Amino acid sequence: MAKIKITQVKSSIGSTKRQKATLEALGLRKLNQTVEHEATPQVMGMAQKVGHLVSVEEV
């Protein structure tokens, strides 16, 4: 399965609790932190929900 890199590029200050929980579930805790996940529909949906806070690239 394909892998994707998700990097937090914007602060979660001012975001809703749900968006903060989504970032935490993706493994993102700090600004400019990068995590690598498999490109499952669940992970892609989570990345899309916080798309304004993260950047996604395929590996």
Q: What is the pTM of this model?
A: 0.93
Q: 3-58 maps to which CATH number?
A: 3.30.1390.20
Phi, psi of 48 (to 5 degrees): -70, -35
User: Would you state the pLDDT for residue 1?
Assistant: 83
Profile the chain (59 residues) by mean pLDDT over runs of 10 residues: 96 97 97 98 97 97
